[in-house]
């Protein structure tokens, strides 16, 4: 890992302020979320407020004062008002990052397709937990400029791509060891005025502890906030 990857860049600018919303089932979020926020804070100039439920979304002003919203949860149900507030905040332009099961969440909601529109991709199922390799499908996005070719996770859930929404730009794919189908595991798109980065990777520590994965999330956060150049990463011209 380069010195840029191993510690935060010196910066005189105030840190980004991020709301990190986590919690739910099937994952050890009590361990995973603090691990991610502490390590990402060591890579980029950012401060996280970590909350473990959707209570903040009861207010339409829940994102006021934040530069970014990160959703890393696994929830089948959501209060319709809370979901409306999340969609409104995104559509108005709040930078957003989705991690892993946030992409599968709210399946019981009548507005699930609106949530998927926000995410930028439709996915309902995943392969069984296990190892798989990834492949970069673009070299023209600074998020993946330093992501390794043919990176492998020793264990994760490969989410199956059902539909890629218009204007979604795939960044990284993975071929299923089960049936050979190729699925998108990281992408960017625009939802209303918001810049959105999402990845299906990150079920547990098998992936989260990878320096390459942490750098991917850090770059995705900076890209969503239109701050990637400030971290001196290369950008395609």
Which segments of 73-159 does DSSP mark as H helices, in order? 80-91, 112-119
- pLDDT per residue as tens digits for the range 132-191: 999 999 877 899 988 999 899 999 999 999 999 998 999 999 999 999 999 999 999 999
Q: What is the pLDDT averaged over residues 106-121? A: 97
Residue ranges covered by each domain of the chain: 13-122+185-231
Query: Contact 56/21 with Cβ under 8 angstroms?
Result: yes
Higher pLDDT, 132 or 6: 132
- pLDDT per residue as tens digits for the range 183-224: 999 999 999 999 999 999 999 999 999 999 999 999 999 999
Q: Please say if the pLDDT value at position 21 is more than 50.
A: yes
C-alpha span between 22 and 172 (Å, rounded): 24
Average per-residue pLDDT in the chain? 91
pLDDT score for 231: 47
Q: What is the pLDDT averaged over residues 110-122? A: 97
C-alpha span between 77 and 97 (Å, rounded): 20
pLDDT score for 229: 67
Minimal CA–CA distance to 227: which of 15, 39, 4? 15
Q: Which CATH class name applies to 13-122+185-231?
A: alpha beta
Q: What is the pLDDT averaged over residues 58-66? A: 97
Minimal CA–CA distance to 147: which of 180, 99, 186, 205? 186
Phi, psi torsion values for 20, nearest 5 degrees:
-110, 110
pTM of the full predicted structure? 0.92
Those residues whose C-beta lies under 8 Å from the C-beta of residue 47, and which sit 6 or more positions away, are 15, 16, 17, 18, 41
Q: Please say if the pLDDT value at position 11 is more than 80.
A: no
> How would you classify the pairing of strands 130-136 and 169-175?
antiparallel
Q: Please say if the pLDDT value at position 1 is more than 50.
A: no
Minimal CA–CA distance to 65: which of 15, 18, 11, 14? 18
Residue pointed to by tokens 């798109």: 189
């Amino acid at each position: 890992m380069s010195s840029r990857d191993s510690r935060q860049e010196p910066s005189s600018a105030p840190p980004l302020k991020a709301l990190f919303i986590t919690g739910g089932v099937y994952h050890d979020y009590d361990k995973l979320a603090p691990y991610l926020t502490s390590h990402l804070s060591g890579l980029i100039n950012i401060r996280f407020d970590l909350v473990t439920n959707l209570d903040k979304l009861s207010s339409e002003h829940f994102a006021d004062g934040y530069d970014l919203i990160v959703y890393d949860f696994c929830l089948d149900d959501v209060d319709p008002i809370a979901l409306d507030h999340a969609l409104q905040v995104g559509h108005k332009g709040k930078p957003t990052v989705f991690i892993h099961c946030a992409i599968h969440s709210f399946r019981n909601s009548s507005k699930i397709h609106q949530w998927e529109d926000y995410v930028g991709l439709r996915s309902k199922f995943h392969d069984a937990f296990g190892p798989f390799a990834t492949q970069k499908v673009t070299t023209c996005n600074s998020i993946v400029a330093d992501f390794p070719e043919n990176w492998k996770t020793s264990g994760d859930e490969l989410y199956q791509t059902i539909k890629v929404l218009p204007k979604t730009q795939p960044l990284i794919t993975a071929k299923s060891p089960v049936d050979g189908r190729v699925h998108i595991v990281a992408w960017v798109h625009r939802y209303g005025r918001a810049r959105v980065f999402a990845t299906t990777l990150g079920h547990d520590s098998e992936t989260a502890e990878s320096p390459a994965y942490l750098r991917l999330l850090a770059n995705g956060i900076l890209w969503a906030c239109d701050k990637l150049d400030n971290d001196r990463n290369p950008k395609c011209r």
